[in-house]
Amino acid sequence: MTAMHYEVLARLLAYPGPEFEAEVEHAVQHFSALCPRAAQALGEFQALMPKGDLVALRELYTRTFDVQAITSLDIGYTLFGEDYKRGALLANLSGEHARCGNECGVDLADHLTNVLRLLPKMTDAALREELVSVLVAPALQEMIREFEPARLVKKEALYKKHHKTIIESASGEARTAYRHALEAVLEVLRKEFVLKISLPIDQESRFAGSIGAELGIEDSGPCTEQPRQSMRGA
């Protein structure tokens, strides 16, 4: 496992900085021979993202992941919503980040960028395999599915119901640009890991359901933390 692979991918899913376009180009070249399927997905991402306009690029990022979002980059939230299982996962991941000396910055322990940077630093290979197969890969599958047209329509309906103002989304296919970046990450994981376990994804959007719960209920109470046994905390 090469740490550089995961650093390159993590930068693409972080809040864009002035060098973002160069970082995307570097990523395409980096994976062109190592993982052609990932490079192809990154090329599609590159083609759709705003060019020469950092403000527009940051707006696309915010509309995709933060405000009236299409999906979330927090893998625990994507899989469990505000269920207590996310609290257990956050506790276990926080411990693993600390053990490996992986700084999480302003994002939570289950944010995809932090988890990607954590993977090559983990010394327990079995735990790393479990983290990828049981949690990261299924979360990525779910994040990617959130870009499906039917799910986009459902989320828009929820936002319109609960917000007076709906933030205008990017036009056309540009709206789903980050789907291709997420697909690239999944392709790299497929190449480096034997993904034995896949999430039995429900037909209904777990993410959209979580949005509905948040908008309808102000506080569902604190998450329960459990002792570290596995990354699932079960």
What six digits make up the tokens of 87?
A: 């609290």
Q: What is the pLDDT of residues 197-224, one digit of tens each?
A: 544 444 444 544 554 455 453 333 333 3
Residues 109 and 93: beta-carbon distance below 8 Å: yes
Instruction: Look at 160 and 111; give whichever has higher pLDDT.
Output: 111
| pTM greater than 0.85 (yes/no) | no
Mean pLDDT lowest among 68-77, 153-162, 206-215, 223-232: 223-232
Domains of the chain by residue range? 3-216
The pLDDT of residue 129: 92
Angle at 85 between CA 82 and CA 91, to 5 degrees: 100
Residue 227 has pLDDT above 60, yes or no: no
Residue 173 has pLDDT above 80, yes or no: no
* CA dist list (Å): 161 to 119, 155, 207: 40, 10, 17
Q: What share of the chain is helix, strand, coil (3-state, %, to 5)?
A: 65, 0, 35
Report residue 1's pLDDT band, with 50, 70 and 90 as the boundaries.
low
Q: What is the DSSP letter of 132?
A: I
